[in-house]
Amino acid sequence: MKSSHTILGIAALSGAIFLNACDTKNEEEIIIEELIDDTYAVQTEKLLVNIDTLHTELEHPWGMTWLSENKLLITEREGDILIFENDSFTGQKIEGLPVVRSSGQGGMMDIQAHPAYAENGWIYISIAKDKEDDKSTTAILRFKLEGNQAVQLEELWEATPAWKGGNHYGSRIIFDKDNYMFFSSGDRFDTPENAQSITNAHGKIHRLHDDGTVPTDNPFVNEPNAVTSIWSFGSRNPQGLVYDSENNRVWESEHGPQGGDELNLIEKGKNYGWPVITYGINYDGSTITEITEKEGMEQPATYYVPSIATAGMTLVTSDRYPQWQGDILIGALAKMHINRVDMDGTQALSQEVMFQDLGRVRQVSQSPDGYLYAITEGTGLLVKLIPVK
């Protein structure tokens, strides 16, 4: 493993000192502002940005979460969780993790620290795990740390029934302001109709208490044979979730088939249509459905034809990027860029392709100190987006 701190294009930092004489005080006020050399910066529609490359040898990275302002964890699909401090890889990994099924699209997937991590120490992960008869499933677990050792490991949930094949596990994890946990599960690929039935866990957004118990106000708790963790249904393979704390909204991005990736506002009990309605077609070019709209099924805020392979995403709230505030940034795996969705409340106005060929962008996240980070497959990068003043 190798860490580096380079600005793509080798742009350097410099400092400037401004002196301001105070009329009312017999002293000078010194203001230090950090300036950034913009020689090799990337001009987007609204911001000039340097891409600071922090690490170059990630292997199939999937998720990231901060335990503090300076400590970052990154999952790798093969089963590792890497430890970064002060934007550098420490060379250490978390020990004592569960065995994962690291084949196909499965493995060690998302990771999320509890909102009250500083008080309770809980870290949540989603994994693909083996089941009997060569089947597998998505599971949600949590653990605490003693040093770098995972302890008090608990499995909170698993998708039922287990399924053969190695595709469409989902999955992302987020928490809302009341510490409810939302997470996604994929339709498992070969049976898209799974997404329309509330008697299985596949192709859904789920909601649980942080201890894994089912909230009594979930929409299907009183439905016969329903999976009671379901919050919404009709999703294909959702690999992006983000919580808008200011407006108490959950946003989701999901992979369409050939065309038809979607950005959705997720609401209680609603049906997002897959596979009854879609803007995509089968990979062989055949038709999935003749319709893109149907009464009782939600329309996406925006969609992508052709597909960009929407992965993890974040909502920009940081003052460091004032021109992007309120916008959603989505990682594009197939099209290898960061996609900015210009948002006006819940309305998607336009899309911008940014940082083309950065790599297969698996996740974009905002750190506690307000910087944006991204992790990529193929190029194996951890990068930090630094706005140029």
pLDDT in tens, 217-233: 999 999 999 999 999 99
The average pLDDT across 345-372 equals: 98
Token pair listed for 366 = 């905002």
Confidence of residue 19 (pLDDT cuts 50, 70, 90): very low
194 pLDDT exceeds 90?
A: yes
Q: Which of 55, 168, 202, 255 is catalytic?
A: 168
Percent of the chain surpassing pLDDT 90 = 89
272-323 confidence digits (pLDDT tens): 999 999 999 999 999 999 999 999 999 999 999 999 999 999 999 999 999 9
DSSP per-residue letters across 224-263: TT--TTEEEE--SEEEEEEEETTTTEEEEEEE-SBS-EEE
The contacts of residue 244 (CB under 8 Å, 6+ apart) are 250, 251, 315
DSSP per-residue letters across 16-80: EEEEEE-SSSSSEEEEEEEEE--TTPEE-SS-EEEEEEEES--SSEEEEEESSSSEEEEEETTTE
3 pLDDT exceeds 90?
A: no
Beta-bridged to residue 19, according to DSSP, are: 30
User: Quick check: helix, strand or coil at residue 109?
Assistant: strand
User: Which residue's entry shows tokens 């970052």?
Assistant: 72
CATH of domain 3-387: 2.120.10.30
Q: Which candidate, 142, 138, 254, 277, places its Cα nearest to that of 201?
A: 138
Q: Quote the mean pLDDT of the chain.
A: 92
Residue 379 CA to residue 255 CA, distance in Å, equals: 21
CA atoms within 13 A on the CB side of 126: 28
Helix (H) or strand (E) holding 182, with range, is strand 181-185
Residue 327 CA to residue 136 CA, distance in Å, equals: 36
Question: What's the whole-model pTM score?
Answer: 0.91
The average pLDDT across 190-216 equals: 98
The contacts of residue 221 (CB under 8 Å, 6+ apart) are 214, 215, 228
315-324 confidence digits (pLDDT tens): 999 999 999 9
Cβ atoms 272, 232 nearer than 8 A: yes
Confidence of residue 33 (pLDDT cuts 50, 70, 90): very low
Name the strands in the sheet holding 204-208, side by side, starting at the edge strand that comes first in the sequence.
Answer: 173-175, 181-185, 204-208, 230-233
Measured distance between the N- and C-terminal CA atoms of the chain, rounded to whole angstroms: 32
The contacts of residue 146 (CB under 8 Å, 6+ apart) are none
The contacts of residue 382 (CB under 8 Å, 6+ apart) are 53, 54, 55, 58, 61, 74, 84, 373, 374, 375
The average pLDDT across 82-96 equals: 98
121 pLDDT exceeds 80?
A: yes
144-160 confidence digits (pLDDT tens): 999 999 999 999 999 99
The average pLDDT across 80-107 equals: 97
242 pLDDT exceeds 90?
A: yes
pLDDT at 39: 76
pLDDT at 389: 73
Whether 202 sits among the annotated catalytic residues: the reply is no
